[in-house]
Structure 1
Amino acid sequence: MKEHVRPLPSYLVSRYHGWKATTYTENRAWYRRLADEGQRPRAMIIACCDSRVHVTSIFGADSGEFFSHRNIANLVPPYNPDGDHHGTSAAVEYAVTSLKVAHMIVLGHSQCGGVHGCHAMCTGHAPELEEKTSFVGAWLNLLRPAYEEVKELPEETQIEALEKQGVITSLENLMTFPFVKAAIESGNMTLHGLWHEIGSGGLEQYNPETGAFEQI
């Protein structure tokens, strides 16, 4: 391994020094407090890995506000304690049982590559994702049932509909976790589903009463 690890690229080193000299220095007491007292985030946000979705910028969040977890297509698997590794499930468990967050947010977005991949799999256009060796394909299988909800829509609207259906799928799967369900039913936590339009900067939230996403 030693021969493969290299120092950071110079542009990242430069950006770090810029942050340390400005943002950190101006807020040194706050960072010290976070280090000494630990984190107390108000919310957990489950978002996509997509580099275009800048969660903290969208909400103007400071360090310590959000407990964040990112994965391909912002998916949450159903509760399934089978002994395998579950990074997303572990993050959810920690947020709810240890950090006791007040809000659980699933944030989907436009032009999601993961959702495109699932749509391609479901329409037979991505055989490489159906190989047993594909981690991405195996993960996107979580979204396959959602395709059944959108496949009859006009083709040009299916991707966006599947992105939003993916958020709903994750919300439904969150409710299969006993500790999530208990926190919500006790009134200690609320559940939220959002969809972000990257190009326009728009943000929509899921309304369970209408079954639609509505502009915020």
Structure 2
Amino acid sequence: MHRFPDYLLKGHANFIAGRYTREKERYRDLATIGQSPTTMIIACCDSRAAPEMIFDSAPGELFVLRNVANLVPTYQPDGGQHGTSAGIEFAVKGLGISNIVIMGHGRCGGISAALNPAPSPLHSGDFIGKWMSMLGGLPDQVGQNDLMTASERQTALERISIRNSINNLRTFPYVAELEAEGKMAVHGAWFDISSGELWIMDSESGDFVRPEL
């Protein structure tokens, strides 16, 4: 029988002795009253870009949904099993979220695979290739730009993908309705793993800028 990883048990022990002890009442209130976050973060499942750490959030403050390359599909109520769409529906309809942030990050493996579709386990797998096809022709358009370096093309597609996912998010009728009524805001963000910098998408121009700290 396999042993549960020791480092996870040690990490939990540190959590109980540290953060849980300091915030015990908050956790108990969350368990009794339930969660009421106002912001949803749709982020990549990359282990280096955890929203709760990046935004230094307390328990119950963020509703986080993570998938490969932080992609959002278009609204497709076709009876299929759509995990990301289900999370969006619950956040908006169940929790009354007022902000949705789609956060990409530098050196994203999913974006790299989309830009460099050489034969690999990722492309011969059952799910990832199909998932990344959600980007349509964007990887080809960016990848054919010889004026940019490989790293520039990577960053460009990471940010273009965020804008694409925001457009897809707005195909959800209840998201579009709430946004039109001024009851919800949709945001884009990009996190640089190497520097820790957060770049925010300007809602009008679509450009990514660094906010003043």
TM, length-normalised to structure 2: 0.92
Q: Decide which of 7, 14, 19 is 2:15's aligned counterpart.
A: 19
Offset, 1:155: 4.1
Query: What does the per-residue CA deviation read over 1:53-95, in whole Å, with 9 as the maximum and x for residues that have no partner?
Result: 0211211100000000000000000001111110000000000
Number of paired residues? 208
Equivalent pair of 2:40/2:100 in contact (CA under 8 Å): yes
Match of 1:191 in 2: 186
Task: Flag structure 2 segments of 5+ consecutive residues without an equivalent.
Answer: none
Distance change (3 Å), C-alpha of 1:30 and 1:130: closer
Q: Decide which of 58, 65, 68 is 1:62's aligned counterpart.
A: 58
Task: Write the distance in 1 (CA, Å) between the matches of 2:78 and 2:55.
Answer: 36
1:82-161 to 2 correspondences below 5 Å? 82-121=78-117, 125-126=118-119, 129-131=122-124, 133-153=125-145, 154-156=147-149, 157-161=152-156
- Percent identical residues: 38
Task: Write the distance in 2 (CA, Å) between the matches of 1:52 and 1:27.
Answer: 25
Equivalent pair of 2:187/2:203 in contact (CA under 8 Å): no
Q: Decide which of 8, 32, 42 is 2:38's aligned counterpart.
A: 42
Alignment of 1:211 onto 2:206: yes
- Name the SS of the counterpart of 2:137 in structure 1: helix
Equivalent pair of 1:146/1:169 in contact (CA under 8 Å): no
Structure 1 runs of 4+ aligned residues shifted over 6 Å read none
Q: Decide which of 65, 72, 78 is 2:68's aligned counterpart.
A: 72
Distance change (3 Å), C-alpha of 1:22 and 1:128: closer
Equivalent pair of 1:117/1:126 in contact (CA under 8 Å): no
Matched letter for residue 126 of structure 2 = S
CA RMSD in angstroms, aligned pairs only: 1.6
Offset, 1:120: 1.3
Matched letter for residue 180 of structure 1 = V
Distance change (3 Å), C-alpha of 1:18 and 1:80: same
Distance change (3 Å), C-alpha of 1:26 and 1:130: closer
- Name the SS of the counterpart of 2:110 in structure 1: helix
Task: Flag structure 1 segments of 5+ consecutive residues without an equivalent.
Answer: none
Equivalent pair of 1:106/1:194 in contact (CA under 8 Å): yes
Distance change (3 Å), C-alpha of 1:43 and 1:73: same
Match of 2:177 in 1: 182
Task: Write the distance in 1 (CA, Å) between the matches of 2:84 and 2:191.
Answer: 21
